[in-house]
Chain A
Amino acid sequence: MSSSIDVQSCSECGFVQYPPREVCRSCLSSDLEWTTIEGTGELLSWTRLNHSFEAEFQQQLPWDIAQVKLDKVSCIIANLTIENPSVGMKVIIRQKGDCDNPQYFVVANE
Chain B
Amino acid sequence: MSRSYQGVAVCVPQTVRYQRYSSHGAQYFFGTALRQLLSASGLQKSDVDGMSISSFTLAPDTGISVAEHLGIELRWLDQLILGGASGVVSLKRAARVVQNGDAEVVACMGADTCNPDSYANLMANFSDFSTFGVHAYGAGGPSAVFALATKQYMETHGVTREDFGRLCISQRQNARHNPNALLGDKELTMEAYLGARTVAEPLGLFDCVMPCAGAEAFLVMSEERARSLQLPYARIKAAEEGYNAHKDLDLPINGGWCNFREALYAEADAGPEDIQFLQSYDDYPVMVFRQLEDLGFCEYGGVVEYLEKTDLNVEGAGLAHNTSGGQLSSGQAGFAGGFLGVTEGLRQLTGQVLGCQIADARIGMVSGFGMVNYDRGLCSAAVILEAGESS
Contacts and interface: CB of A to CB of B under 8 A. Distances in A.
A67 B134 CA distance: 10
Given A46-B151, A54-B140, A67-B375, A75 B250 contact: yes
Interface string A48-88: 11111110110010010111010000111111000000011
A50 B200 contact: yes
B304 interface: no
Contact of A77 (B128, B137, B151, B248): B137
A51 B148 CA distance: 14
Interface residues of B, number: 37
A14 interface: no
Given A45-B152, A47-B144, A19 B252 contact: no
A45 B144 contact: no
Contacts of B143: 51
B209 to A, nearest CB: 14
A77 B132 contact: no
A63 B138 CA distance: 8
A53 B129 contact: no
A65 B151 contact: no
A45 B286 CA distance: 14
B140 to A, nearest CB: 5
Interface in B173-215: 197-203
Interface in A31-54: 44-54
Contact of B155 (A18, A76, A77, A87): A87
A47 B137 contact: no
Interface in B112-162: 120, 123-124, 128-129, 132-141, 143-145, 147-149, 151-152, 155
Contact of B200 (A47, A60, A67, A74): A47
Contacts of A74: 248, 250
Q: How large is the interface on A (under 10, 10 to 19, 20 to 34, 35 or more residues)?
A: 20 to 34
A52 B138 contact: yes
Interface string B285-300: 0000000000000000
A47 B201 contact: yes
B374 interface: yes
B317 interface: no
Contacts of B197: 50
A6 B5 CA distance: 50
A47 B375 CA distance: 13
Interface in A1-36: 18-20
B200 A49 contact: yes
Interface string B34-76: 0000000000000000000000000000000000000000000
B249 to A, nearest CB: 8
Contacts of B140: 52-54
A109 interface: no
B263 interface: no
A87 B201 CA distance: 14
Contact of B251 (A44, A76, A78): A44
A53 B124 contact: yes
B324 to A, nearest CB: 27
B201 A79 contact: no
B184 to A, nearest CB: 24
Interface in B250-267: 250-252
A20 B143 CA distance: 23
A88 B251 CA distance: 12
10 contacts: A18-B133, A45-B148, A45-B151, A46-B148, A51-B200, A53-B141, A57-B138, A60-B138, A69-B250, A103-B136
Given A45-B149, A48-B198, 12 more contacts: A44-B252, A47-B147, A49-B147, A50-B199, A52-B138, A52-B140, A65-B148, A75-B250, A75-B375, A76-B133, A77-B133, A88-B155
